[in-house]
Each structure stands twice: as structure tokens, then as C-alpha cells.
Structure 1
């Protein structure tokens, strides 16, 4: 970012902290930063953490977001800002989007929640600012990468369609032990939700909905074996935008072998329940530890036939580890989620974008090699 913007971060958790620190350390011009959170104390703790962690210095102001009427001080902050970066839980996304619309702010969020995304698409259809949705790791980066591979495939092999697009991401620990072969590196409710909400896919060139955890396979990535299965949300809007162009498309979450079998056992014990997400989350949290040392494994591929009938495949894989930003060492899930959010913010602030912008509508090459993306994900060398 080469101009000084005023940026509101909604939330004060791990991703919000990473976004704030990366803005301070990686921006061309350090922005003014407002932290908006239900707990003023947590916002102030985040501000102290940012100021301690930044090597460049950053101006941070904290604001408490009330449940009902907006105080004058918060209103003045909203009126003076340029963009709202929503790092709150996905269930609160429509409320934050409405706030951005009411105060004529650009808006970007991270949530994989499908119904909340549809709500925001409707309310933001007529806005004079840009609303870039689902712009984290998955959904987010992985979808832009998959779309880039598809565009490259079509141009390189002189075709307009492909047989398959595969998108896979695993937020994993470095080690895994029986019986669950997993450790929490991000939100437990997010894990339980993606395991139980339906997955949107493409089958036979048509958008379809399938149950999560219903198409399990093994895959070897860079010589290591993982399990993969359908989960919800990670495909963003690609099933809509690429139907009729791709025979098969899906997003699958990567896990160490044995984890999904353990999840199946827990779901069998729970049985039919109106609160199955909460109950699975509780069963997982009862025994699975939270682990700081994490890694991200991602894989994307496009396969099909070229204009002469020969079968071709393009694929990209990455292994990303924790990284020091400023004076703090950030977990991989923090940097890989925050980087696409900040690249999206840069896109909105430095363009004339208006209305809803979905992952399929992002110019892929510029985004994937963008200012905030490259330090975290590295460069993508495939060219259109």
C-alpha cells in the first residue's frame, strides 16, 4: 500500500493480530489502524501486542463495539475509515458487512459459511464500495490458485474446458498421535462446521451439493501420504463460475491418515442430533490438544485433454511453515489466512471496485504474486 489508509480490523484474535502486524511491517506506507471488538480489553491487549511486535511503529486506536446503538466515538471512527477487515467469527459477518455498507466502507472477510455469504451478497449488491468475500486461505488463496491453473491450462493447451479441478488444503500439526491423529491449529468450531455442513462441488459440469466426509481418498504430496475428504466452504464460488467448463471440481481437506476414521467413530456415538456441530466440537475438544507449531499443506491441480487429445495435468503444491514478522513469530495459519485478506484490501483500496467481488472474479496472476502474498506463499511461476 503506497498511500496512508485508515483500516478497521474487526476482531482481536489470532488472525486479526497477524493482519495488524503484517500491515505494520509489510505496507509501503504504514496505515492508521483501528481495532473494533466486543471486548475493549481484548482490543487493548492486541494493540499492545502490535506495538511491541512492530519494528516500524504503528498508530493503533481501540473501540468497543456495543450490541445495540453505536456510540459517537465509534461512529466517528467508522466515518473516517477506508475499509473494514472482518476477522470475527463467520456468524457475525452479515452484521459487519451491514456496518461497512452503512458507513460507505470497503469490506473484506474470511468466512467459509455459505448462508452468511449469500446474505452479504444480497445486501452489498448495490453498494458504492467493494465487498470482497471469502478471502482467506480456504476459501480464498486456494480458489484463486485453482482458477489460475484452469486459465493457464486452457491457454497453454488451446482448450476451453477441463476434466477436473482439485483443491486441497490441510492446516496440520508437525506430528500426529493415535487415536485422533490431529491437533487443533485453528478454531474448533470451524473444524466441526466444515466436517458437517454440505460441500458444494461440480459433477458432470453441474453444480451439486454433497455431504461432507463422503468421498475419502489418500493422496501423496511431495512424497508424504495424507487423507483427503470433502468439507464445506473451501471451493468459494468456483462451483458456480466454472460449471459447464469443468466436468469435476471439489475442495477437500487434508488430514493425517487415521483422523477421519476417528471422526466417523465420534459421529456414530453422537447419532442423530439437532446440535451435532456443537456435540462433535465438544468431543474433539475433550481429547484433542491445541498445538502452536503448525504447517499448511496445499495442493491444486487441473487435468484434461489438450487440443490434440493428449491428457495433460498442471499441479502446484506448497508446504508453508511459521514465520517471524516484525518481533513476533506467527503461526502458519495466521500468516496464510491474513495475507490473502490484506492482498484483497489492497485490491479494494487501490482500485475503483464496487459491489460484491467473488474469488472467481479476482485477476489471478497479480493477486498470487501480490505484495502481501509473496512473502508468505512464495511466487507462482505458471504464467498465462
Structure 2
């Protein structure tokens, strides 16, 4: 049985702990510096540790003896927590979408005796596994389009959006340069550009460039695909309001103020839906073909507790990665990218099943 330390006892950390604890294959300890988060974790029955994630030496001492460390902490703590896990001799996994943080983890992995595997959530994470799987279905790959969105089931404001995830991470996605492959070459594209409209199951959506969702897939597929893109899914009209706020009003230069606006004006919700919609085109047996993957996930009950769709899909991504390393289906040391995970193997884990559609609760139906 592996002993796992989850650094970050917030909503996603709690869902990860519940999934791992319910499996019977893992012992879980939750670590944080926030006394309220630790009190909540202890109330749920988890052993807790008070830690300062900004102190790598002290954190390494605390992490010694754990088989693996999962960072569910803010993205800017990624390098420190990864370095501490490496020093403690533990495998390391995280959920970051931050490109600089991932590069720091990659550098640490060069001489590591354990696994360092960042970007294990939804996007980056599961969507990279799906993208690599689709790419492998073609003799010659032409285009690969990855689209992911976490959306409220019942949008009521002009943005048609509620907070379901880290506000800092959300603003990074909207403001930072985006990776893509265009005409076979890796490039940086502007966020909020390449706007598209599409429909699924009778509902209208839009999507546009955002940062971080591709993970390392651009590097892996360079030279193998003519065009690769990642876009975030929202309800129509969201992108135009964002451009007003970020560009016209200049809030892209005041991310602190943007965070305050979002957290003051946009309520949080656990009544959400996560959509993963990926499409690839290319040649197979000399014929131009197209293949798509669609997954829509709702909230679920796990261990007697209801979790939102974004909690479930994010936690399932990292728990599945941990399980594949533990079972020897992934390398046992060094840097491991999401596209090294085989989609059928991931879906066969007890955590991959959480990507099956959830259920709308009676409360959801009445809302």
C-alpha cells in the first residue's frame, strides 16, 4: 500500500483524497499551511500535516517516508514542492497548467531516481492522453483539435460562467501565450484568438485559444502533425466580454484586480458540466478520415460525498496517473509526460471510470 501526501487541502485535494482513500490501495495524508483547510480535512478523517510549501528544505523533511506526493497547491508553488518531493525520494505528481512550472519539474527530473509527472489533471492531463490516442489512429496525421470546458449547468450572468477552479490558473489561461503547431511548426499564439462556434447535443458553444492546456503535446507531435490546437469551451458571448475586460479596460496588466473582480462578482458552483471534445483528421490506409472523442461529465457521489464535475475529472486524472506508476504501466523514474499514458489503460483503472457521465441530482433538476 502506497502512502500518499497531498499538498493542498482545498476542494481538489479533498476529492483526490476521497478517491484514493476509497480504493483501499492508498493511505492518504493531507498537508497545508491553512489551518481551516486542515481542520476540514481532519473532520473528513484524514491525517494532516501543517507545512510551509514555500520552504523546500523543511518540506522535504516532512515528505520523507512517503511513496508519492501530489501537489494540489497553487501553480507558483510547483517548483518548490517538486524539489522537496525529489529530495525526499518520493514520486511527484501535480495538476499545473503553468508552462514555466512544468519546465522546472522537467529540469529536476533529469537526474531523479523517482517519477516526476506534472500536468496530470484535466487539461493539461486527460486531454493530452486523448490527443495522443487519436494521433496514433492515423498513418499520417494532419490536424488535431483539442477542446475542453468546465461550464455551469445553469448560467445566469452575462459571462455565462461561474468559478469552478483556481482563479489564478483561470487568469493565466486567459492572459498567457498559447502553444500550437501551425503549418508543421511550433509557435506561440495569442490567447482568446482563433474563435470558433459549434453545437453539441442541441446546445451552442464557442471556443478560443487559452494557455497551458496542451502540456508537452506540441513537443511530442512536432514534425508529425500539420496543425495542433487547444481551445477552451465556453457558452457564446463569454470571449467578447473577456476581451473588453482584459484588452479594452487593461485588466491583463492588473491580474490582481482581475482576480478580485472575478472572485467578487462570479459565484462558485458545483452544479457544472465538463466537456472534452477532440477531433483528428489524417490518412489511414490511403483514405482521408476523421475521428472524434467526446466526453461529458457531471458531478458524482464518491465516498458518500458529492463532488463537482471539475473536481471529479481533475482528481481522476492525477489518481489514474499515480495508479499507473504504482502498477508499473508507466516508467518508474524521470520525467513522464501525459502522452505516454495509453488511453485504454487509463480508462481501465478504477479512477478512469469516473470519466463516465455522472448524474444530475434532484437539486440540480429543481434549480
Normalized against structure 2, the TM-score is what? 0.91
Say whether residues 1:125 and 2:105 are aligned partners: no
- Give how far 1:269 is off: 4.0
- Give how far 1:210 is off: 0.5
Aligned to 1:326: 303
Query: Which residue of the other structure, out of 5, 10, 15, is the alignment partner of 1:13?
Result: 10
Pairwise CA RMSD: 1.9
Note closer, same or farther for the CA distance 1:272–1:340 as it changes in structure 2 (3 Å cut).
closer
- Residue by residue over 1:311-370, the C-alpha shift from the partner in whole angstroms, topping out at 9 and shown as x without a partner, is 311001111111001111111111100001011111222225110001122233212332
- Give how far 1:220 is off: 1.5
Query: Which residue of the other structure, out of 267, 277, 280, is the alignment partner of 1:302?
Result: 280
Structure 1 CA distance for aligned equivalents of residues 56 and 105 of structure 2: 21
Q: Is the 8 A contact 1:266 1:283 kept in 2?
A: no
- Give how far 1:268 is off: 3.6
Note closer, same or farther for the CA distance 1:173–1:41 as it changes in structure 2 (3 Å cut).
closer
Aligned to 1:364: 343
Say whether residues 1:227 and 2:206 are aligned partners: yes
Q: Is the 8 A contact 1:195 1:232 kept in 2?
A: yes
Structure 1 CA distance for aligned equivalents of residues 109 and 90 of structure 2: 11
Structure 1 CA distance for aligned equivalents of residues 36 and 264 of structure 2: 28
Aligned to 1:32: 27
Describe how 1:188-267 pairs up with structure 2 within 5 A.
Answer: 188-267=167-246
Query: Which residue of the other structure, out of 309, 312, 319, is the alignment partner of 1:342?
Result: 319
Say whether residues 1:181 and 2:160 are aligned partners: yes
- Residue by residue over 1:286-306, the C-alpha shift from the partner in whole angstroms, topping out at 9 and shown as x without a partner, is 422222211111101111233
Say whether residues 1:110 and 2:107 are aligned partners: no
- Residue by residue over 1:3-31, the C-alpha shift from the partner in whole angstroms, topping out at 9 and shown as x without a partner, is x1111010110110000011121x1x342
Aligned to 1:145: 130
Query: Which residue of the other structure, out of 33, 38, 43, is the alignment partner of 2:38?
Result: 43
Say whether residues 1:166 and 2:151 are aligned partners: no
Note closer, same or farther for the CA distance 1:149–1:331 as it changes in structure 2 (3 Å cut).
same
Q: Is the 8 A contact 1:11 1:43 kept in 2?
A: no
Q: SS of the counterpart of 2:211?
A: coil
- Which structure 1 segments of 5+ residues have no match? 52-59, 379-384
Structure 1 CA distance for aligned equivalents of residues 193 and 257 of structure 2: 20
Q: Is the 8 A contact 1:40 1:62 kept in 2?
A: no
Structure 2 CA distance for aligned equivalents of residues 231 and 69 of structure 1: 31
Q: Which moved more, 1:362-371 or 1:126-135?
A: 362-371
Note closer, same or farther for the CA distance 1:34–1:285 as it changes in structure 2 (3 Å cut).
closer
Structure 2 CA distance for aligned equivalents of residues 70 and 61 of structure 1: 22
- Which structure 2 segments of 5+ residues have no match? 358-367
Structure 2 CA distance for aligned equivalents of residues 186 and 322 of structure 1: 14
- Residue by residue over 1:15-66, the C-alpha shift from the partner in whole angstroms, topping out at 9 and shown as x without a partner, is 10000011121x1x342221111124422321312x3xxxxxxxx3211113
Q: Which moved more, 1:292-301 or 1:176-185?
A: 176-185
Q: Is the 8 A contact 1:97 1:120 kept in 2?
A: yes
Describe how 1:59-70 pairs up with structure 2 within 5 A.
Answer: 60-66=46-52, 67-68=54-55
Structure 2 CA distance for aligned equivalents of residues 44 and 70 of structure 1: 25
- Give how far 1:276 is off: 3.2
Structure 1 CA distance for aligned equivalents of residues 262 and 21 of structure 2: 36
